[in-house]
Amino acid sequence: MKYMLMMNAMTTGDRYAGVTGWQKEAVQVHIAFLKSLTKSLRESGELVTTEGLAVPDQARIVRAGKDGAVMTDGVFPESKEFLAGYWIVDVTTPERAYEIAAKASAAPGPDGSPLNMPIEVRQIGGPPPEFL
Amino acid sequence: MKYILMMNTMKLGVDPFPGWSKEDIHNMIKYMIDFNKKLKAAGELLSAEGLSFPEQAKLVRAGKNGEPITDGVFPESKEFLAGYWIVDVATPERAYEIAATASAAPGLRGEPLNIPIEVRPVPSGPPPEIM
């Protein structure tokens, strides 16, 4: 079963991926932790893919207008949480996906202690078959 | 340049296809499948996924000893990711164009949905100035 683990850690105006205002060393420790998590998932064969996204000021909302015209807008609600990055893992149970999410959650923060940030975990797969 | 195109269109407890007939749903899915095929044929599609409904989502945190705590509550206003594409294109404008095509997927009675699609660059690593 494939699960997507999402860090929705960025907000409007965040200059860096949830780490704006941190000391450089704290950022490096944080990123090294996440990289080593990715490496261990790759070694265990559980990692399908992982990506980190650009900061919110580079985000645009695009809609089709009349006749399919491209309409872009850069204004988001202040409450919006932006996806900072994600992992897709292939695991045999949801519990294993939650375990991996908890590891990501415990990434070190600005003072080196675990952030215990929320990680959204969702199974990959489109609408249930009754819709198709 | 890599871009992610996200459909943040689902809400907890909200029917994603209100009033749609089975045919409407089929047409929308067929549109998306054709759209994916075209992107793939153009060599622009790196990946695409659809996610399960938000009712199955969990918000997980590490507890004191690193154990998973799975009873997190999502904010009521939260818009859930329904699916995404990652495309490799030469310009942001091309990414927006692709997003507009996804936005115009047919909905109720075949009318274009014109749903908002969030488009963001996917850099190859963290910004060098913070490393």
Would you state the pLDDT for residue A89? 98
Is A42 domain-assigned?
A: yes
Q: Which of residues 68-97 of A touch B (CB under 8 A)?
A: 68-72, 79, 81-83, 88, 94-95
A62 in a structural domain:
yes
* Confidence tier at A125 by pLDDT (50, 70, 90): confident
Domain extents in chain B: 2-123
What pLDDT was estimated at residue A127?
59
Q: Which residue has the higher pLDDT, A93 or A68?
A: A93
Q: What is the pLDDT of residues A103-123, one digit of tens each?
A: 999 999 999 999 999 999 999
- A120, closest residue in chain B (CA to CA): B59
The CATH number of residue A37's host domain is: 3.30.70.1060
User: SS3 for chain A, per residue?
Assistant: CEEEEEECCEECCCCCCCCCCCCHHHHHHHHHHHHHHHHHHHHCCCEEEEEECCCHHHCEEEEECHHHCEEEECCCCCCCEECCEEEEEECCCHHHHHHHHHHHHCCECCCCCECCCCEEEEEECCCCHHHC
Find chain A residues with C-beta within 8 A of B15's C-beta: none
**Residue range B74-99, pLDDT digits in tens:** 988 899 999 999 999 999 999 999 99
Q: What is the pLDDT of residue A131?
A: 55
Q: Scanning every residue of chain A, which has its alpha carbon at the shortest distance from the alpha carbon of B72?
A: A118
Residue A42 has pLDDT above 80, yes or no: yes
CATH of domain B2-123: 3.30.70.1060
Residues B10-37: tens digit of each pLDDT:
999 999 999 999 999 999 999 999 999 9
More confident residue, B100 or B131: B100
pTM (2 decimals)?
0.93
Put simply, the answer to whether B123 touches A52 (Cβ < 8 Å) is yes
ipTM of the complex: 0.93
Position A9 in a domain: no
pLDDT at site A16: 66
Contacts of B81 in chain A (CB under 8 A): 4, 6, 83, 122
A67 → chain B, closest CA residue: B104
The count of structural domains within chain A is: 1
* Better-scored residue on pLDDT, B37 or A77: B37
Residue-wise pLDDT tens digits, B95-121: 999 999 999 999 999 999 999 999 999
**Do the domain assignments include residue A117?**
yes
- List the domain range (segments joined by +) for residue A109: 22-126
